[in-house]
Amino acid sequence: MKLFREKEIRALEAVQSLVEQGCAVHSLTVQQIADAAGVGKGTLYEYFESKEQILAGAALYQVGMLLEDMMRYAQQEDLNFFGKIERFLCSLNRHTAARLATAQRLLAAVPGGRRCSTLAAYGPRLAEYTAQLNGLLEQLVEQGKAEGVIDPAHSVEYCGFCLNAALSHYSAALCMEREDGLALWPMLPENARKRCAMQMLRCALRPQN
């Protein structure tokens, strides 16, 4: 399922492009976004009620692209449970970290008092998207239990928490990378970081004998 329609995506990708070009998020105007998207300003208002809604949508779009990759890997029938998890980790790279950082900046540009109401405009679509992700999580857990790598007593909620912790731990390491080499994680090769995240998940999910 696509969270956004084609013309909405043009505007959201235009925001991403402007930010990558160095434009300050807080000073972006609807006209700038329309010009970058190659559409009229009035056309944008057919899909978005305000600049804040465009910025919030652009933030969700960044996260949504990562989630779509994860959903695609989860549906690959030729991979076992941990094979799919490894693909998830491979999808998390410095480019992903930059996208997530951009998403945070975009949301921060929406005034706090209007943030909840702005995000509420995407409520129905987010609810459907979340339901689909929860369904895929249930499938993953069932697969892991069938393969004997997840304790049958573990709930879907617990497994989801563990999976989120492992992915968050790995992606946080990407965000901590520094060019001066002073951060701890960059001293570990990527494969070592991946093994750490995988081992964390194996220990948390494995059957208790």
pLDDT in tens, 131-158: 888 888 899 999 999 999 999 999 999 9
pLDDT in tens, 34-54: 999 999 999 999 999 999 999
- The proportion of the chain whose per-residue pLDDT surpasses 90, expressed as a percent, equals 38
The CATH number given to whatever domain includes residue 187 is 1.10.357.10
Q: Is residue 44 part of a domain?
A: yes
The alpha carbon dihedral of 75, 78, 83, 88 has a sign of negative
Q: Is residue 1 part of a domain?
A: no
Q: Give the mean pLDDT of 170-189.
A: 56
Q: What is the extent of the structural domain holding 19? A: 6-205
Q: Is residue 66 part of a domain?
A: yes
Q: Which amino acid is at 115?
A: R
Is 0.85 surpassed by the pTM of this model? no
Q: Is residue 84 part of a domain?
A: yes
Nearest residue to 6 via CA among 34, 45, 47, 36? 47
Residue 178 binned pLDDT confidence (cut-offs 50, 70, 90): very low
Which of 15-24, 104-113, 152-161, 188-197 is predicted with the least confidence, judged by mean pLDDT? 188-197
Q: CB under 8 Å to 155, separation ≥6 — which residues? A: none
Q: How many domains does the chain have?
A: 1
- pLDDT averaged over every residue in the chain: 84
